[in-house]
Structures are given as C-alpha cells and as structure tokens.
Amino acid sequence: QVQLVESGGGVVQPGRSLRLSCAASGVTISGNAMHWVRQAPGKGLEWVASISYDGSTKFYAHSVEGRFTISRDNSKNTLNLQMNSLRPEDTAVYYCARDRGAVGAFPPDAFNMWGQGTMVTVSS
C-alpha cells in the first residue's frame, strides 16, 4: 500500500522536545522534496518546513526557525522533524507531505501525497 505514516506525536510539557518521523511505504521518496505541515485544532493549514531530495537545502517557517530541524534518511525512506523548546502554540496535527515536483526539483511544488498525521500536544 502506497502511504506515508507519521509517528512520534504525544503530550509534552512546554520547553521539552519531541521527534516526529514519517515512513514511506510502497513508494520511494528519495527523489522528492518533502514537507511538514501542521494544523492546530479547528484551524487551517500551516507549512512548517521543507527539505530538498538530498537534504542539502532546508526551509523553515519563521515560527519554528531555530527550534525545529527537518532531516531525512533516504536509505530508510524516512523523513524526520526534531522539535525542541516546544510551546503551547505548537499544539497541532503534524502531517508529512511529498512534493509533486520532478525528481530532484526544488523549490517546492504542490503537495501530492499526505500522511494521516500525528498529534502533538504541548501542555503543562
């Protein structure tokens, strides 16, 4: 089955860290840029971070720059998001998404495959 599966979400106290992962199955993502997008409860979509196919280029939203780090392991067909110094406003469902751009293309194109998401709750 072709899918992206996120994991690593949970409840964490403000200031603590969490690491999210996104595993691709039935599809190879090593040639595509990848993204993290989040959605706070009852709110719209907010782009978080992007990474090029080879990991050499990364972009971050202003709201997470310096606290979050996007990375990928193409040998394991996975995408990661290390989240440090978490704040209550980081509470959201976090989705990983695949870029539809041509293999190796960057900057981002539309996002044509999404995982089901993993919930992150930052609360004391």
Partner 1 sequence: DIVMTQSPDSLAVSLGERATINCKSSQSVLYSSRNKNDLAWYQQKPGQPPKLLIYWASTRESGVPDRFSGSGSGTDFTLTISSLQTEDVAVYYCQQYYTTPPTFGQGTKVEIK
Interaction site with partner 1 (CB under 8 A): 35, 37, 44-47, 50, 59, 61-62, 95, 100, 107-112, 114-117
Minimal distance in Å, beta carbon 43 to partner 1? Answer: 9
Minimal distance in Å, beta carbon 93 to partner 1? Answer: 9
Q: Please say which residue, 31 or 114, places its beta carbon nearer to partner 1.
A: 114
Q: How many CA atoms does the CB half-sphere of 15 hold within 13 Å?
A: 1
Find, among 71, 74, 73, the residue nearest to 83 by Cα: 71
Minimal distance in Å, beta carbon 116 to partner 1? Answer: 6
Find, among 25, 8, 4, the residue nearest to 115 by Cα: 4
Task: Provide the pairing of β-strand 45-51 with 34-39.
Answer: antiparallel
Q: Please say which residue, 17 or 62, places its beta carbon nearer to partner 1.
A: 62
Q: Please say which residue, 113 or 121, places its beta carbon nearer to partner 1.
A: 113
Which amino acid, one-letter code, is at 64?
Answer: V
Minimal distance in Å, beta carbon 70 to partner 1? Answer: 13
Q: Please say which residue, 68 or 111, places its beta carbon nearer to partner 1.
A: 111
Find, among 27, 79, 28, 75, the residue nearest to 52 by Cα: 79
